[in-house]
Amino acid sequence: MTPIPGAVFHRVLDRELPLARRSHGAWIETSNGKRYLDASGGAVVVNVGHGREEIARAVYEQMKALSYVHPTMFASSAVEDLAGALAKHTPGGLDRFYFMSSGSEAVETAIKLARQIQIARGNPDRQVLIARWKSYHGLTMGALAAAGRTSFRLPFYPMLRDAVHIPPPYCLRCSYGLAFPACRLRCALALDETLQNIGPAAVSAFIAETVGGASIAVCPPPEGYWPLVREICDRHGVLLIMDEVMCGMGRTGKWFAAEHYETLPDILVLGKGLSGGTLALSAVATTTDLMETVRANGGNFVHGGTFSHNGIACAAGLAAVKILEREQLVDRAARLGRWIGQRLNESLADSPHVGDIRGLGMMWGVEFVSDRGTLAPFPRSAKVTEKLWQKLFEQGVLLYKSIGMAGADGDGLIISPPFVITEEEINRVADSLRTVLRCVLGA
Ligand SMILES: Cc1ncc(COP(=O)(O)O)c(C=O)c1O
């Protein structure tokens, strides 16, 4: 293995990392020639596939034509063009886009935008944010306060201006011990109850991932969840923020996951695959009406950043959108996503340690349990996810870890490849996972 260069403060401090050298399609190659099948698209990022020359060319041309301009001084065609291209796909009326760099920044932007809309509407007392447990919205302080992943929150908890959290729609381990549909969506009604408890006039917005991702090993909500949430928000004058940093941009087999649920948010949050997984690019989409509400109240949105509305990142974004359109990759994500589900079920369903296989499009999760009958999790100290992940890594298959969905315990892996992955490559992922399960857990 090539030694890691000495001066980098890495995210991973307990082991050496192989040196990645090039990537193409669904594959990453290291300096010693080892190839990895990127079946998680990194952190559920790479949607159009690695090594897209078209994106590289677009970035090069944009940099040559127009380098940095400050977003309060100039508009630029690259930014306008990406917004226009996205507006053709976003669900009804979400036609105004505010661009940032990371998903966390976009979440911060959405929280602040909601607050400013409430102020502009004459509701300055509306400042509480409601979010869900077992969620992920990023690691900057505002996003972390919204995120419901205890292990990430604990070290910083005393420093957070916390959101109020309600249970997620997680039928496998329902917080109320109920079963769908007899539950009548108790987890959505929890929003209503919580709003009544806080006093609705104090609440600015409810934020949630349209399809739960990183903290819950992928969890599509049950039918009726989102329309009920929308109705509750409307009834109480609360803005609805749907976080699609992970599940947007075609990942679930539709351009935006909200389309599966026929629910329109006031604010939609995007990131990750927005640039095809190349440059740091995220966005917040809202309606012209809501943007005008802010404008009418005295001008500007009090938020921004040096690299907001960055033309070079937006050029990458536009090239990625064009690839998704031309190669009909969103349809492919839906079609091959069904194959992923089928193959995972065929390979894993009889394992006593597979508690659940769930997903949508090219976003799948497998939850591991010590006892399938009782769904008892492994103790977190056993680090089952980490062991499975490591064995797969050694075999050249990359998945994404998800832990902590069962109280302090809970083990899962996410399968979320680039949409260009082939059926044969999907077979390899399912087979490898089966082999590794036997090797690590014995069955
Ligand atoms: C739903 C969701 N929101 C926000 C984020 C934060 O994005 P970033 O890591 O780009 O800050 C993530 C990252 O995984 C995410 O999955």
Distance from the alpha carbon of residue 147 to the mean position of ligand 1, in angstroms:
10
pLDDT in tens, 360-384: 999 999 999 999 999 999 999 999 9
- Mean per-residue pLDDT for 302-322? 97
| Third-level CATH fold of 53-326 | Aspartate Aminotransferase; domain 2 (3.40.640)
Q: Can you tell me whether residue 296 is helix, strand or coil?
A: helix
Phi and psi (nearest 5°) for 291? Answer: -65, -40
CB atoms within 10 A of CB 341: 17
Ligand 1 mutation pick, 135, 136, 152, 211, max ligand atoms within 8 A of CB? 136
Residue with tokens 């559920």, as numbered in its chain: 44
Distance 137 CA to ligand 1 centre (A): 5
Over pLDDT 70: what percentage of the chain?
99
Q: Which residues line ligand 1 (CB under 6 A)?
A: 43, 102-104, 107, 136-138, 209, 213-214, 243, 245-246, 271
Pocket test for ligand 1, best of 272, 281, 402 (most atoms within 8 A of CB): 272
Task: Output the pLDDT for position 316.
Answer: 98
Distance (angstroms) between ligand 1 centre and the Cα of 101 equals 11
Per residue in 17-52, pLDDT (tens digit) is 999 999 999 999 999 999 999 999 999 999 999 999
Average pLDDT, the chain: 97
Residue of the nearest CA to atom 7 in ligand 1?
103
Task: Kindly indicate the confidence band of residue 443, based on its pLDDT and cuts at 50, 70 and 90.
Answer: confident
pLDDT higher than 80, residue 5? no
Structure tokens at 208: 């949630």
Quick check: 256 pLDDT over 60?
yes
Q: Ligand 1 centroid to 359 CA: how many Å?
A: 18
- For a mutational test of ligand 1's pocket, the pick from 102, 135, 137, i.e. the residue with the most ligand atoms closer than 8 A to its C-beta, is 137
User: Does the pLDDT of residue 331 top 90, yes or no?
Assistant: yes
Question: What 3-state DSSP class applies to 114?
Answer: helix
Give me ligand 1 centre to Cα 246, in Å: 7
CA 44 – ligand 1 centroid, Å: 10
Distance 239 CA to ligand 1 centre (A): 20
**What is the per-residue DSSP string for 240-264?**
EEEE-TTTTTTTTSSSSGGGGGT--
* CA-based nearest residue to 382, from 422, 441, 325: 441
Domain boundaries, the chain: 20-51+329-441, 53-326
Q: Which residue has the tokens 């082991």?
A: 15
Question: Which atom belonging to ligand 1 lies closest to the Cα atom of 214?
Answer: 16
Please, which pLDDT band fits residue 92 given cuts at 50, 70 and 90? confident
Instruction: Tell how far CA 224 is from the center of its chain.
Output: 21
Residues of the chain with pLDDT > 90: what percent?
Answer: 97
Q: How many CB atoms lie within 10 A of CB 4?
A: 14
Atom of ligand 1 lying closest to residue 101 CA? 10
Q: Is the pLDDT of residue 3 over 60?
A: no
Query: Are 20-51+329-441 and 53-326 equal in CATH topology?
Result: no
Buried b (16+ CB within 10 A) or exposed e, 262-289: ebbbbbbbbbbbbbbbbbbbbbbbbbee
Residue 371 Cα to ligand 1 middle (Å): 31
Section 110-133 average pLDDT: 97
Euclidean distance between CA atoms 23 and 138, whole angstroms: 26
**242 pLDDT more than 70:** yes
Peptide bond between residue 379 and the one before it cis (omega within 30 degrees of 0): no
Give the residue whose CA is nearest to atom 13 of ligand 1: 138
136 CA distance to ligand 1 centroid (A)?
7
Among 44, 104, 242, the mutation site with the greatest number of ligand 1 atoms within 8 A of its Cβ is 104
- Please give the distance, rounded to the nearest whole angstrom, from the Cα atom of residue 220 to the centre of ligand 1: 17
Mutate to test the pocket of ligand 1, among 107, 152, 268 (most ligand atoms within 8 A of CB): 107
- Alpha carbons 365 and 214: distance in angstroms, whole number: 9
What architecture does CATH give domain 20-51+329-441?
Answer: Alpha-Beta Complex (3.90)
pLDDT over threshold 90, residue 4? no
The predicted pLDDT at position 349 comes to 86
pLDDT of residue 299: 78
List the residue whose alpha carbon is closest to atom 4 of ligand 1. 137
CA of 145 to the centre of ligand 1 (A): 13
Q: Tell me the per-residue pLDDT of 162-198, one tens digit each, with 9 for 90 and over.
A: 999 999 999 999 999 999 999 999 999 999 999 999 9
